[in-house]
Structures are given as C-alpha cells and as structure tokens.
C-alpha cells in the first residue's frame, strides 16, 4: 500500500474517532451516549496542554501524562501528529485539497512554497508560553487554548456544529442546546477552515502554536524527509502537494514538514525518501525566527497578562456575574489551567455552563460560566460531571458528598457557587402583590434555602363599605370589583380585628366568603371591609443558599429575573463572602 | 461565460437580449404581484391551529371508580386495587396505545420520593402489556429540571425501558397550542400534544407531596407536566390552573401513590426525613376524588385545597370521594 494511503486512512480514522467522542459526550441512556469513552483523548495527547499547565502550575496533572507519548514520538519521528493524527489538520488538508485540486501544477507549486510568514506561529507559541511561564507581578495566565488546534476544534464542534446539526435533526441531545456567543467560536473556526482556499493548511503553516511546538521538538528527529541524491530533474512534482510548505525539492525546512509524504509519493525518480541520513539537497533544521520577532513576542508575553489584569478583574473589580461551576479553583488558579476546550459546557446535562464572552475580561474568554437563563434548570444538585471531564482540573473532580457537604465534608459545608438575591422591585409577591413563590418551590435543598413569610395586603381600591350581610355573602355599596377576580383562593376579606375569611367568589358589589367565617353581628351596614391578598414572600437564607440558580432559571419574570444569583459567597474565594460564620 | 464579441453584434443578438431583459422584468413584476401585501402584518396575535386532547376515560361502572389499597408494597397494592376495579382489561383494550404520565419533575433519586416510583411505573406498563395486550406504552413528562437527567436519575427511564415502554422526551416540536373551552388561563397555550398522537388511553401516576404554594401536589397537579412555555406564570393563580388542567385531561385512570408521603419541603423534598410512610395506594377514574382522599394523607382536608372545589364546579370530578363508594382493601405488610 502506498504510504500516502496509509496516512489518509490514519487521518480518516482519527477524525472519525474525534467526531465519535464529540457525539458520545452526551448524557443519556442510549448506546451512543456517555459510556466511558476516553473523550478527552486528543486533549490529553496534546503536549501544548501539558506543557502549558506545567509552566503555570509546576505540576503535571496525571491524565496529561499521555502527552509524553506524543512528545517522544515527535522527537524521534518528527511532526507525525500534524500529518497523521490532528483532526483539525486533517480537516484543513481535506478542504485545501478540494479547493486547489483543479489548479495547474505551476499554481499548486506556487501555493505550497515556503513563506517567511510561517514564522508567525512561533511568535504565537512564544507569546503563550511566556505569558504562562513568567510570573510578572506574580501573574500568569494560560491562554494557549485560544489557538491550540485541539482545543479550537473541540470547542467548535461541541459548542457550535453539533448544536446546529441537533437543532435541525433533533437527534443528539434530549432538548436543544444553546451556547451564548457561539458565533465568535464558529467565526474563528470558519475563518481557519476557509483560509485553506487561499493557501492550503493556512492555519497549520502560519498560526498553529501546537505545530510550532512540534516543529521545535522535531529539531533532532532521527528520521526525516529528504533527497537521497543532490541532483534531480527539478520537476517540482514533490512540491505541488507539499502540506507543510517545506520545499523538499531544494533545501528542506525540517521544522515545517508535517510528514504528509506527498513528496515521496509523487517523485517519479524515487529521489525523496524518509531516512536517518540528512537530505543531500541540504536541510534547514531550525525554525526561521528572527531575533526581532523573538524579542517582540517575548515582550508581548511579558506585558499581556499585567495589561489585562490592570482592569482589576482579579482584584476588587471582580466580575460578580462570573459564576464558576462547582469545584472550580480560585480564579487565579483557574486561569492557570483552563484551556477553553468547552468539554465542561458540552457534558453539562442542563446546558447551564456557557462560554464566557468578552464582557468578563479578555482572559476569561470561552471559559465556563453559569448562565441560569439558558438551559433546562440551573446547576443540577446531584451532578458533578464538569469536574470529571475537565482535562486540566481547572474544575476539580469532586464527589457528590463534597459538593453537598455530606459525611466527612459536613464541617466544610456544601460548595457554593454564589448566592441568590431576591430583587424586591421585580418579584411578584414583593412588588406586585401577586402570589407566586416558584423560586421557593424549586429550591432543591432540604431544608430549602428559600423560605417565605405570609402577609395579607389590602388590594388596590380594596377598602369597601358594607351594604348588607346575608349568610356568607357581603354586599357592598361600591360597585367596583371585577367579577370573579377574587375567586382564586388567594383573596380574603378582613374587617377590623375579626378573623379573616377566605373569599369564594365575588361580583361587582358582593363577596361570598367561606362558610362560618364572619358573623353578621360583627359587621353592620356602613362597616368597612378590606379585600386582601394572601402573599407568601420569598426570602433567601444566605447560610443555606449554594447559588445553584434553579430559582433564577424558574422565575416567571422572564426578562431580568426577580431572583438572581451572583458570585458573592462562592466557596472558591473566601475573601468574597458576605456574611460572618454563625 | 456571457462573453460577446462587440464586432459581431447583430440585430438578432439585440432582439435576443431584449427578449431576455423583458422576461426578467416580467418575472420581477410577477413576483411583486404575487407577494404584494396591501395591509402589512396583523397585530401580535398569530392565528394558530389549536389542538385539543380527546377524552380518554372509559365507561363508568358504579361502585368501581375508586379503590384504596393499604400495604407497604406498591406492586401488590396497585395490582390489588386495579383488580378490584375490574382488572386492567376493563381499561386497556387489546391493541391500545397507552400514554403514562408519571411525575418526572425533578432530577432526584427515587428514594427521595419527589418523582413517581419507578417500580410502580414499570408495573403499570407491564400490566398494560401483559394483561391489557396494549400495542405500545409510552411514558412522557415535561420535567421541571433537565428532562434527560430527570428520567435517568429518577430511575423511571431505566425501569420503563425494561418494562418495554418507550420514553418520549419533551422536544420543542411536540408542543401544540391549545385553548380549553371555558378556560381562563389555558388559552392559546402550548401543551405536550405530540406525545398524545395515536394514543388511546392515558394513565397518570403521582406521589402525594407537600406543595407550599398550592397545598398539595397529587394527580391533578401532575398534569402541569403537560404544559409548555413559561408555565410558571400560572403560579399566580395556582388553584385555577390545577382545576383547568383537571378539566383539560380526562384520564383513563390515575394512580395516587401514598406509600410514602412527602410531608415537608415539597415538592422537591431532598431528604428522606421529609417523607412519612402511609402505605396507601389509590387507583381512581376520578382524579378529583383521588386527590380529595389524598389530602388526608398530608393531614389536610379537601377544603384546604381550593382547586378541588374549583375542579368539581368545572365538572372534572367530585370532592366527595365517599359518594363513589370507594373499595377499601388492606394487604398484609
């Protein structure tokens, strides 16, 4: 079998595996849903994730040890990951092939020639690594996930493509999925994919920081592509489909070679081979990074984090709407680990976990945040899925006992994501004298963190004058009641210090009350009665509330909710607590 | 493509071009004519095709409308109760498609009693198949929490599937707008109508639960799970909406499970200490009567639950369950 056929099979296989893992990351009982598949496989094999978190935390989180395999294989064989395994790279190669296959040979050679701008990807890599590694003013931030191809394609497929397919076919998730600001994720994805029509593997050649990392790692690769004779017919057939743009016909740029083997396959004279001896055409083994470019990218990396932190997002000006999932590390530690892959938002059964937009600071872009207005029901009490899927432990894998503060965690108490606040200017029982308490009803804790206090309020124009009393009916002089309005079981008739009586029904000038409630002798013609509504007004017990947001999700004031969670009181930032321990 | 040599431009070329231009212009004119709208859009109200639920009840048999079976084992008490009412064969005919609407509102484990008991749901489904010869049994609910999680964590998904029943998830395309005749609240409101397609019989299964707003959540409140949209708005007038739901749905029969009763912290519960063992199972063709009896299990009276009287007034059933001469049976513990 031709080597390029094997390579294509490998690419197709890994692309299929990647797609399959995206699909099965769905909660449910079907065979094609979550069944213990290693859905983080590609993120674990990605050494940029491992090295990034090592630089920021000085630890190698256990599952990321898989990256060592990729690193060692790359050191020995070169950039096999780019050419054989990377699902994003395979996609680029396929689109580039479709877009350019009908162009004449000379044009294709021209498209696939080496360009100086290919050094830009190294600038990105240096920028990310420096901002992750150097604690300028004690601040570091892991931002490589923005452009890391595995994070990018994982995020794009899970948060945009699958939900769009699902909204059309309705087959994957039980209820439609929504992701706020997903268009930005999709725009980056589409831009990367369609740039292949301009230059094949545009992203891989110019942008990919992971490719840049592999390029550096392959500096001492034992086997390389090269010419086994210094002379050849110079037909350029080898360069017409060169995926890396590494010019195998002349001096091959080893760091740019993605091991696509197209050169080897297309050479009619078998001049090109993959061997341990250096190319007889000569080779350039190191990336072409100018000193100026290097200094520029280091300097950008040094200043980037301090620059964005000048907003005070991690100090007193912290964004209170940034409600992190249960088990999330303190914000500073969280930003050292989160790679914006979106796996937590994908697995979240209720869809409450959302990609953060720009409004919470540039650093937090596409990191997980709870938006209780989206999804099926706030953060589900009996669920810890996000921590278990998080590939870097930015969200710790907590047990249910730890989340709920049971057993050995009883003293520490439950993990709080924030605190719910009743907005009394919008709440129906507080502001509009309408019964409601949907929030109380849905509070999942036992005992509930939302409790109510009963009040009876006289309704507008509810003070009436008695005209006549007979049996259970009070006739009033005024004829101003809307018939049936007070018949809901929530309205009462009060008079002086007499026991209130429940109203059964009313006409415009009479009220029927529950039997044996008010007696004729206590009321007479001319007495004043008050029509009152019974209200249960909600209060949040701040010592119990964990900020799960189910109340906010269910609040019938559907625009700006009348009960809203904000991040005060979250367990991960003790300095943000608002009440003293009792 | 479309290239023309200027030197050879002839009269016939000009005529051909003029003909095409005329055709295009006529096409544009025709399109404008067909699409012309002299009035503009009408105010907000969209005229929708309204749907209505059919009546799923079976022929009444005096003295066989309600059975109260006491005992600790749900399967036994339900089996006994349904037998005393004439057996499942009285309700389910061979070839029927049966829809079971259990309470699957919350994503909580079965032991907390916030959802219908999975074993009971499975038993009802099994009986429909084995003795009722039902063609198909489907189970649905528009849960409050995440539906997939609710079906999974409540154990109802697994138990029902094992009993051969199909789960219908509340997908948006299954909702249709309905207006209840004489209804005040259910007007042009989305309900889970798609699940009822080709359904012949409907069975409601609900636990007895405390409910802070309405007093109690039982078989009538269970129909809330058929509503779509931002249905929480109806909590402003909870008694009317429950009464209207009881009028809208005419079930074949309902099963009110008072084996364990949620006395406090309802309707979510969250702790086994919220539950009390009452060992009572009610099977009734009249959900108003079932709930009227059920109020006692919560140590309430029917007059504490205004929706019962409202439902009775609307003709959905009777609050005087004794008038149905309920069959009372005791099973050994």
CATH number at residue B278: 3.40.50.11440
- The answer to whether the beta carbons of residues A140 and A130 sit under 8 Å apart is no
Domain membership flag for residue B31: no
Q: What is the mean pLDDT of chain A?
A: 94
Q: Which of B232, B272, B275, B312 to mutate to test the interface with A (most CBs of A within 10 A)?
A: B232
Q: Which pLDDT does position A520 carry in this prediction?
A: 55
Q: Which pLDDT does position A34 carry in this prediction?
A: 86
Interface touch B239/A437, C-beta < 8 Å: no
- The answer to whether the beta carbons of residues A375 and A348 sit under 8 Å apart is yes
Q: Which pLDDT does position A152 carry in this prediction?
A: 98
Q: How far apart are CA A352 and CA B101, in angstroms?
A: 27
- Which ranges of A222-330 does DSSP label H, i.e. alpha helix? 262-266, 291-309
Q: Which of A170, A441, A484, A556 to mutate to test the interface with B (most CBs of B within 10 A)?
A: A441
Choose among A160, A121, A128: nearest CA to A142: A128
CA B158 from centre of chain: 20
- The answer to whether the beta carbons of residues A542 and A420 sit under 8 Å apart is no
pTM of the model: 0.92
- The answer to whether the beta carbons of residues A549 and A565 sit under 8 Å apart is yes
DSSP code for B223: G
- Length of chain B (residues): 333
Whether residue A131 has pLDDT greater than 80: yes
Confidence class for position A234, pLDDT limits 50, 70, 90:
confident
Domain membership flag for residue B61: no
pLDDT tens-place string over residues B192-205: 999 999 999 999 99
Whether residue A582 has pLDDT greater than 80: no
**Shortest distance, CA A486 to any CA of chain B (angstroms):** 10
In this structure, the number of other CB atoms found within 10 A of the CB of residue A362 comes to 14
> Residue A465: beta bridge partners?
A528
Q: How far apart are CA B237 and CA B267, in angstroms?
A: 17
Q: Which pLDDT does position B61 carry in this prediction?
A: 93
- DSSP string for A46-100: -HHHHHHHHHHHSS--GGGGHHHHHHHHHHHH-SHIIIII-HHHHHHHHHHHHHH
- Sort out which chain B residues have CB atoms less than 8 A from A556's CB and list them: 230, 232-233, 235-236
Interface touch B268/A443, C-beta < 8 Å: yes
* Segment among A292-296, A536-540, B8-12, B298-302 with least mean pLDDT: B8-12
Whether residue A457 has pLDDT greater than 90: yes
Q: A204: which residues sit within 8 A by CB, 6+ positions away?
A: A82, A89, A92, A149, A211, A243, A244, A258
pLDDT tens-place string over residues A72-90: 999 999 999 999 999 999 9
Q: Which pLDDT does position B82 carry in this prediction?
A: 97
Q: Which of B109, B148, B209 to mutate to test the interface with A (most CBs of A within 10 A)?
A: B148
Domain membership flag for residue B36: no
% residues pLDDT > 90 (chain A): 84
Whether residue A130 has pLDDT greater than 90: yes
User: Domain map of chain A by residue range?
Assistant: 3-284, 323-421+545-582, 454-537
pLDDT (average), residues A341-369: 95
Looking only at Cα atoms, what is the longest distance across chain B? Answer: 107
Q: Report residue A22: phi and psi, to 5°.
A: -65, -45
Choose among B250, B254, B251, B232: nearest CA to B185: B232
Whether residue A499 has pLDDT greater than 80: no
Residue of B nearest to A171 (CA): B171
**Shortest distance, CA A346 to any CA of chain B (angstroms):** 14
Confidence class for position A198, pLDDT limits 50, 70, 90:
very high
Choose among B281, B273, B309: nearest CA to B297: B281
- DSSP string for A369-391: EE-TTSSSSSS-TT--HHHHH-T
Q: B10: which residues sit within 8 A by CB, 6+ positions away?
A: none
Q: Which of A167, A178, A348, A438 to mutate to test the interface with B (most CBs of B within 10 A)?
A: A438
pLDDT (average), residues A194-216: 97
Interface touch B147/A488, C-beta < 8 Å: no
**Shortest distance, CA B267 to any CA of chain A (angstroms):** 6
Domain membership flag for residue B315: yes
- Length of chain A (residues): 582
- Sort out which chain A residues have CB atoms less than 8 A from B149's CB and list them: 27, 349-350, 376, 380, 383
**Shortest distance, CA A395 to any CA of chain B (angstroms):** 21
- Residues (pLDDT < 70) of chain B are 1-6, 44-48, 333
In this structure, the number of other CB atoms found within 10 A of the CB of residue A101 comes to 9
Q: How far apart are CA A430 and CA A557, in angstroms?
A: 12
**Shortest distance, CA B86 to any CA of chain A (angstroms):** 36
Q: Which of B233-238's residues contact partners 24+ apart within 8 Å by CB, and which partners?
A: B233/A556, B234/B185, B235/A435, B235/A436, B235/A437, B235/A438, B235/A441, B235/A556, B236/A428, B236/A434, B236/A435, B236/A436, B236/A556, B237/A435, B237/A488, B237/A490, B237/B185, B238/A435, B238/A489, B238/B213, B238/B214, B238/B307
Of A29, A488, A536, the CB nearest to B240: A488
Q: How far apart are CA B89 and CA B78, in angstroms?
A: 14
- CATH class, domain A454-537, is mainly beta
Q: Which pLDDT does position A455 carry in this prediction?
A: 96
> Which residue range is the domain that position B157 belongs to?
67-330
Q: How far apart are CA B28 and CA B30, in angstroms?
A: 5
Domain membership flag for residue B87: yes
pLDDT (average), residues A497-522: 82
**Shortest distance, CA B106 to any CA of chain A (angstroms):** 9
If one counts the domains in chain B, the total is: 1
Of B109, B171, B235, the CB nearest to A175: B171
- The answer to whether the beta carbons of residues A479 and A509 sit under 8 Å apart is yes
Q: How far apart are CA B51 and CA A214, in angstroms?
A: 61
A226's enclosing H/E stretch is strand A224-227
* Segment among A438-452, A471-485, A494-508, B19-33 with least mean pLDDT: A494-508
Interface touch A27/B149, C-beta < 8 Å: yes
Interface touch A380/B145, C-beta < 8 Å: yes
Structure tokens at B160: 């029902």
Confidence class for position A521, pLDDT limits 50, 70, 90:
low
- The answer to whether the beta carbons of residues A485 and A506 sit under 8 Å apart is yes
First to last CA, chain B: 89
Whether residue A170 has pLDDT greater than 70: yes
Domain membership flag for residue B237: yes
Express the helix, strand and coil content of chain B in percent, nearest 5 each: 40, 20, 40
3-state secondary structure of A465: strand
Domain membership flag for residue B40: no
- Catalogue the E-assigned strands of B36-145: 66-70, 97-102, 136-140
- Sort out which chain A residues have CB atoms less than 8 A from B307's CB and list them: 489
- Sort out which chain B residues have CB atoms less than 8 A from A489's CB and list them: 238-239, 306-307, 310
Confidence class for position A578, pLDDT limits 50, 70, 90:
confident
Q: Between A519 and A228, whose confidence is greater?
A: A228
């Amino acid at each position: 079998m031709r080597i390029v056929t094997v390579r294509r099979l490998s690419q197709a296989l890994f692309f299929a595996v990647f797609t399959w893992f995206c699909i099965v990351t769905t909660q449910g009982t079907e065979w094609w849903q979550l069944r213990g598949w290693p859905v983080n496989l590609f993120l674990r094999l990605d050494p940029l994730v491992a090295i990034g978190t090592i630089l920021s935390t000085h630890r190698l989180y256990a599952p990321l040890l898989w990256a060592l395999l990729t690193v060692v294989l790359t050191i020995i064989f070169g950039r096999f990951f780019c050419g054989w395994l990377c699902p994003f790279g395979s996609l680029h190669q396929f689109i580039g092939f479709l877009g350019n296959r009908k162009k004449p040979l000379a044009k294709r050679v021209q498209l696939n020639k080496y360009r100086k701008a290919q050094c830009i990807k190294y600038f990105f890599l240096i920028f990310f690594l420096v901002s992750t590694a150097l604690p300028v003013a004690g601040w570091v931030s892991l931002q490589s996930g923005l452009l890391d191809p595995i994070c990018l394609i994982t995020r794009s497929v899970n948060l945009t493509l699958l939900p769009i397919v699902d909204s059309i076919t309705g087959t994957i998730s039980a209820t439609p999925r929504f992701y706020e600001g997903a268009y930005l994720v999709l725009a980056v994805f589409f831009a990367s994919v369609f740039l292949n029509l301009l230059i094949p593997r545009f992203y891989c050649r110019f942008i990919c920081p992971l490719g840049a990392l592999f390029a550096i790692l392959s500096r001492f690769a034992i086997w390389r592509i090269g010419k086994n004779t210094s002379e050849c017919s110079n037909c350029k057939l080898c360069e017409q489909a060169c995926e890396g743009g590494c010019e195998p016909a002349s001096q091959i740029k080893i760091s740019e070679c993605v091991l696509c083997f197209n050169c080897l396959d297309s050479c009619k004279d078998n001049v090109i081979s993959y061997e341990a001896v250096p190319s007889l055409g000569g080779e350039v083994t190191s990336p072409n990074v100018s000193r100026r470019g290097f200094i520029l990218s280091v300097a950008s990396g040094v200043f980037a984090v301090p620059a964005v932190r000048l907003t005070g997002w991690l100090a007193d000006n912290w964004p209170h709407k940034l409600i992190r999932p249960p088990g999330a590390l303190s914000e500073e530690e969280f930003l050292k680990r989160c790679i914006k892959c979106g796996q937590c938002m994908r697995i979240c059964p209720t869809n409450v976990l959302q990609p953060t937009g720009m409004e919470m600071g540039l650093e937090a872009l596409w990191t997980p945040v709870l938006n209780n207005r989206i999804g099926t029901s706030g953060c589900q009490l009996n669920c810890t899925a996000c921590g278990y899927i998080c590939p870097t432990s930015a969200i710790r894998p907590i047990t249910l006992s730890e989340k709920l503060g049971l057993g050995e965690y009883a003293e520490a108490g439950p993990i709080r994501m924030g605190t719910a606040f009743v907005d009394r200017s919008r709440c129906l029982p507080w502001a509009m004298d309408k019964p409601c308490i949907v929030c109380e009803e849905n509070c999942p804790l036992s005992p509930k963190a939302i409790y109510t206090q009963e009040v009876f309020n006289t309704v507008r124009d509810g003070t009436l004058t008695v005209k006549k009393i007979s049996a259970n009916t009070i006739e009033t002089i005024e004829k101003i009641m809307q018939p049936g309005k007070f018949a809901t079981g929530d309205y009462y008739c009060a008079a002086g210090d007499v026991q209130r009586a429940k109203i059964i029904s009313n006409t415009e000038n009479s009220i029927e009350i529950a039997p044996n409630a008010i007696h004729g002798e206590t009321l007479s013609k001319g007495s004043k009665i008050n029509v009152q509504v019974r209200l249960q007004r909600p209060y949040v017990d701040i010592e119990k509330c964990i900020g799960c947001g189910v109340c906010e999700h269910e609040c019938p004031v559907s625009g700006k909710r009348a009960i809203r969670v904000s991040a005060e009181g979250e367990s991960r930032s003790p300095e943000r607590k608002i009440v003293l321990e009792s | 493509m479309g290239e023309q040599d200027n030197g050879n431009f002839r009269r016939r070329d000009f005529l051909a071009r003029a003909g095409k231009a005329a055709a295009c212009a006529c096409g544009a004119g025709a399109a404008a004519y067909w699409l012309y709208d002299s009035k503009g859009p009408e105010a907000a109200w969209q005229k929708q095709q309204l749907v209505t639920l059919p009546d799923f009840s079976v022929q009444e048999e005096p003295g066989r409308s309600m059975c109260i079976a006491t005992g600790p084992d749900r399967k036994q008490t339900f089996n006994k109760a349904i037998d005393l009412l004439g057996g499942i064969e009285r309700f389910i005919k061979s070839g029927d498609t049966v829809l079971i609407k259990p309470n699957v509102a919350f994503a909580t484990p079965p032991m907390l009693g916030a959802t219908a008991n999975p074993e009971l749901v499975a038993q009802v489904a099994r009986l429909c198949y084995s003795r009722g010869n039902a063609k198909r049994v489907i189970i649905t609910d528009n849960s409050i929490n995440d539906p997939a999680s609710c079906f999974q964590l409540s154990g109802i998904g697994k138990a029902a599937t094992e009993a051969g029943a199909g789960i219908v998830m509340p997908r948006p395309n299954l909702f249709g707008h309905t207006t209840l005749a004489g209804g005040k609240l259910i007007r042009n409101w989305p309900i889970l109508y798609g699940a009822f397609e080709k359904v012949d019989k409907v069975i409601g299964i609900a636990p007895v639960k405390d409910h802070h707003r309405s007093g109690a959540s039982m078989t009538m409140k269970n129909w809330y799970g058929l509503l779509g949209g931002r249905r929480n708005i109806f909590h402003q007038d909870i008694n009317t909406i429950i009464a209207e739901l009881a009028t809208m749905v005419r079930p074949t029969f309902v099963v009110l499970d008072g084996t364990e009763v949620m006395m406090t912290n309802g309707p979510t519960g969250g702790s086994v200490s919220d539950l009390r063992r009452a060992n009572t199972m009610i099977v009734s063709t009249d959900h108003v009567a079932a709930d009227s009896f059920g109020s006692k299990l919560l140590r309430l009276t029917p007059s504490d639950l205004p929706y019962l009287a409202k439902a009775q007034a609307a003709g959905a059933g009777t609050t005087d369950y004794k008038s149905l001469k309920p069959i009372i049976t005791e099973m050994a513990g």
